[in-house]
Homo-oligomer: A and B are copies of this chain.
Amino acid sequence: MGYEFDSQIEVLHEGGGRYSVDLAAGWLVGGGINGGYLLAVLGNALRAHLPGKPDPLAVSAHYLSASIPGPAAVRVDVRREGGSVATAAVELVQGDDVRITALATYGDFDRLGDDVRTTARQPEMPAVEDCVPNTVAPAEVRKFAPLMDRFEMRFHPGQVGWAVGKPSGNGVLSAWFRLIDGREPDPISLLMVVDSLPPVTFELGMPGWAPTLELTAHVRAKPAPGWLLVRHESRNVAGGMFEEDCEVWDSAGRLVAQSRQLARQPR
């Protein structure tokens, strides 16, 4: 039996660079569909379209309008093929509206080498059982954000003040993460993981919707099975916008994805 997440990102080839997909209502948060899930949808279409290059190395997405559940089209336009990497432009479209326009460079981790050497240290994080589960969220929050039923999230107890009206002001928000259905992480699902936590602005005392303008994700290695550690940080609010840096660490203690997004400050 297949996993829920795999069916939700499934794309159907319509010929040429055209794919169709049915965007899952289960990834709604407020009025729109979660941008990370959408990035994984695009990532899955690119994987289908770039033979021999299954893995996203760098994906840069500019978000143009909010997506709604239901049918959508993905258009892929390969800009360079050959050598160890390929680059393509990709768009997500519903009706006449472009939802996302993105560029992606793909390769093959099995050929690039799966080794990670890093000076980065895994952030300090209490054990999973000592963290705050997303299942404690009130019913009205879960109704507003159905995506919370897609995964288990266990928040760092020292960075969850936003949930009880006492944000730390530190601009750091971390959680353990795994998909609810037991599907293990892979380079495609990491594109979703980097945008799955609540906006880091919650911990800066700015609750509310923070629409992404641009998000670039770098997948740095194939993740090991098990819980992922996801850390968001923002250091700079300026001109009505803020950046959100995300790191994803796998259960083997490796930094497997890095992303940065520019988002609008919640009103």
Q: Which residues of A contact B (CB under 8 A)?
A: 57-58, 60, 62, 64-65, 79-80, 85, 87, 89, 98, 101-105, 109, 112-120, 170-171, 213-214, 216, 218, 220-221, 234-241, 243, 255, 258, 260, 262
Q: CB distance B240 to A112 under 8 Å?
A: yes
Q: Which residues of B contact A241 (CB under 8 A)?
A: 57, 112, 220
Within the complex, what minimum Cβ distance (angstroms) separates A92 from chain B? 12
- Sorted nearest first, the 9 A-B pairs with minimum C-beta distance are A60-B60, A120-B235, A58-B214, A116-B238, A112-B239, A118-B236, A216-B216, A64-B80, A220-B238
Distance A86 CA – B152 CA, assembled complex (angstroms): 36
Distance A54 CA – B102 CA, assembled complex (angstroms): 22
Within the complex, what minimum Cβ distance (angstroms) separates A186 from chain B? 15
Distance A98 CA – B77 CA, assembled complex (angstroms): 13
Distance A102 CA – B236 CA, assembled complex (angstroms): 24
Q: Which residues of B contact A240 (CB under 8 A)?
A: 112-113
A170's closest neighbor in chain B, by CB?
A: B119
Distance A220 CA – B241 CA, assembled complex (angstroms): 8
Query: How many copies of this protein are present in the complex?
Result: 2
Q: CB distance A64 to B79 under 8 Å?
A: yes
Within the complex, what minimum Cβ distance (angstroms) separates A17 from chain B? 15
Q: CB distance B239 to A220 under 8 Å?
A: yes
Within the complex, what minimum Cβ distance (angstroms) separates A264 from chain B? 9
A-B contact pairs, 25 of them (CB 8 A): A57-B213, A57-B262, A58-B262, A60-B214, A60-B216, A62-B79, A62-B105, A64-B80, A80-B98, A89-B101, A101-B103, A102-B103, A115-B239, A116-B238, A116-B239, A117-B236, A117-B238, A119-B171, A214-B216, A220-B239, A220-B241, A221-B238, A221-B239, A236-B255, A258-B260
Within the complex, what minimum Cβ distance (angstroms) separates A74 from chain B? 15
Q: Which residues of B contact A60 (CB under 8 A)?
A: 60, 62, 103, 214, 216
Residue in B103, B119, B221, B238 whose CB lies within 8 Å of A62 = B103
Distance A236 CA – B235 CA, assembled complex (angstroms): 20
Within the complex, what minimum Cβ distance (angstroms) separates A159 from chain B? 14
Distance A96 CA – B89 CA, assembled complex (angstroms): 18
Q: Which residues of B contact A120 (CB under 8 A)?
A: 235-236
Within the complex, what minimum Cβ distance (angstroms) separates A255 from chain B? 5
Distance A115 CA – B98 CA, assembled complex (angstroms): 31
